[in-house]
Structure 1
Amino acid sequence: MSATTGPEGFDHIEALQNALRAEHAAVYGYGFVGANSGDAARKRAYEHLDAHRGQRDTLRAELLERDADPAAGERAYELPAEDGPDALAQFAAGLERTAAQAYLELAAAGDPELRDLAGRSLKSTTVRSLAWGADLMPFPGFPGGEL
């Protein structure tokens, strides 16, 4: 195993970049959710936005530490067509599912510190998705929740 690969050629840098891209999308999306929500949901959206900003900054630091150029955020991301409470909750849960999948992929890293980061982040995304009414999947982060 090298500094950037793990089992079977796993690429730490690409996994970190994918997680960073998911965090960029979550930061953007939660700004929309917060701006279009009522009081309680707005507060939750902005708390989750702050959590994703922190994760984004952590991932950027991990990439810089590995002499990699962190992926930049997109100019815009796809937003829901509707902005009612149910649509916003589903959208927020979807942001968390996307982040969960990226962290699940990062968990395959050979580096124990990255696996720890991935595990803690996967737990956090799962808890946040539950706050938006998502069902607890048996295997969070796996498409369809199944192995």
Structure 2
Amino acid sequence: MTKSTKRILICSVGFILIMLFIYFSSIFSTFVSAYYDSEPVTAETHLKDLREFKNSFENSMQVSTADNINEIAIKKLQYVFDLIDEKLLSKDPSSISIEDLDRISFESKMTRNVLFSEKIYMSPFSEEHKFISDFQKKLLVLENIIYKLKQEKLNQE
């Protein structure tokens, strides 16, 4: 290799390393992420609504007869509560990678399916039924936001 070839190679490697160090979302970066910072008021409001729904749901399950369907409903909705409580309503800013967005989108779709299957057993005029319908709409909005975020991040590359 000639001296000019070595210089070009060293400069190229140095440039890429500097770009990786300075710009995490550059086209040369191996770690692409987005930052999410929720509004504290919004997160607290959603947590309050979630707790109210939990209490209402548990009370309605205690009043109704204990059968196999209710046990399945409780197990499925406990999964939904954990998803919302722990992962989606964080009050602290967090870095989210494309893989995390894919996982959240998948879990959102699965949650919508679980809620849809549980809505069948509820009275269409009950408070829980209305809450689940509203929540399914919000999950669809979340999936659209995730899709747009992924498209923006992929278009930046």
> TM-score range, shorter-chain basis?
0.3 to 0.5
Select the structure of larger CA radius of gyration: 2
> What's the TM-score, normalizing by structure 1?
0.44
Identify, as 1 or 2, the structure richer in helix: 2
Q: Which has the higher strand share?
A: 2
Normalized against structure 2, the TM-score is what? 0.41
